[in-house]
Amino acid sequence: MGKETLSQEEIACLLQGESSDEHRVIEETLTPDSREPAGQRAVTDIASPGEEEEQIAQLRELLEFFAHNLSEALSELLRAATRVEVGCIDRAAYGEFLMRLDAPTCLVSFCANDEHAPFALNVELSILFPMIERMLGGDLDTAATQQRPLTEIEKRLATRIVEMFLDELKGVWRQVDALGLEIASLESNPCLPGAQACAEPVAHIQFELSLGQARGTMSLAIPRSMADNCEPASGGARTRQTPSRDGQSKGAVRVAAVLAETKLAATDVKDLQVGDVIDTEKGTDDLLSVTMDGEPRFEAKPGILDGHKALRIEQPSVHETK
């Protein structure tokens, strides 16, 4: 059989056809309906526009309770006013959620009792490093945003923040509480999982955080079926009180007295042991700072009343937020 020579135009047509076939194969691989026969996977994204709006509105209402509770918890942990607001809520594949993340970052993956769908939380470093600085006793004014992977000490402190996030979410969301979620991994440079995991449908929820001048986002990815059928936890979101229109909270206010504050080097924090004494610059007669929901309001003297520790308010705080 004689050899035939192809022209340049024929070669170009062949290459274009192969490229088109490869592109079609990739699209079919990432399409959820093509991975499994019909009937083996529940369809979660077929809903009328009205139903979708109602589902998102119900989810946002539940998340508003959660954001308010998390704001209070973080303000107490960091001893500084921390605001958490619900941002945008959309639907995407898990692979799309991962592709939106910066690197390095702080991506936490969770594992559940009998749930294999993706469940993850990403915390931007622009807000995480200032929170860690506060946990180590640093000032917000000196907290610098850094773009680098977390150290082992920073990962442990970040884990405390993530555990608080998860605890507050369990308190308002029944399905999350029932899953028995635990932290599976914390990564600074996450890698994409397999094609099947990348194609899993998720709800992508953003929370906007502010701490002093620092701003950043926490992004949550949860199974879409859970987001479409969210149920408040009994005794959780239904009984929580949100701030009223005049900005005053109708629920309980967290009041705390700060005995003293000091700064320690990260190496000293790592070596702390039971029995160690931490020297502070605060005098024995100095007034204590009284905070409400993490914000300084008064200065007081400590004392005892009926066998219990007590405070006597002496004056408004000189650091009170106007």
259-274 pLDDT, tens digit each: 887 777 777 777 888 8
The C-alpha atoms of residue 176 and residue 167 are separated, in whole angstroms, by: 10
How do the residues of the chain divide into helix, strand and coil, expressed in percent and rounded to 5?
35, 25, 40
**Where do the CATH 2.30.330.10 domains begin and end in the chain?**
255-316
Summarised one tens digit per residue, pLDDT across range 76-130 is 999 899 999 999 999 999 999 999 998 899 999 998 876 667 899 999 999 999 9
Instruction: Give the confidence band of 242 by pLDDT, cuts at 50, 70, 90.
Output: very low
User: Do β-strands 106-111 and 308-316 pair in parallel, antiparallel, or remain unpaired?
Assistant: unpaired
* Residue with token string 């920073």: 154
Pick 74 or 44 by higher pLDDT: 74
Residues of the chain above pLDDT 70, percent: 71
In this structure, what token pair is assigned to residue 312? Answer: 């006597």
Instruction: Report the CATH architecture of 49-228.
Output: 3-Layer(aba) Sandwich (3.40)
Instruction: Say if CB 105 and CB 287 are below 8 A apart.
Output: no
Fold of the domain spanning 255-316: Surface presentation of antigens (SPOA) (2.30.330)
Average pLDDT of the residues of the chain:
78
**Which of the four pLDDT bands, split at 50, 70 and 90, describes residue 305?**
confident
CA distance 59 to 232: 9
Q: Spell out the residues 6+ positions from residue 274 whose beta carbon is closer than 8 angstroms to its own.
A: none
Query: Where in the chain are all domains bearing CATH 3.40.1550.10?
Result: 49-228
List own/partner pairs for 180-184 with CB under 8 A and 24 or more apart: 180/112, 180/113, 181/110, 181/111, 181/112, 181/119, 182/110, 182/111, 182/112, 183/108, 183/109, 183/110, 183/159, 184/109, 184/110, 184/111
Cα angle at 178 between 176 and 181, to 5 degrees? 60
pTM beyond 0.85, yes or no:
no
Place of tokens 């929370």: 207
| pLDDT bucket at 237, cuts 50 / 70 / 90 | very low
- Rounded average pLDDT over 178-190: 87
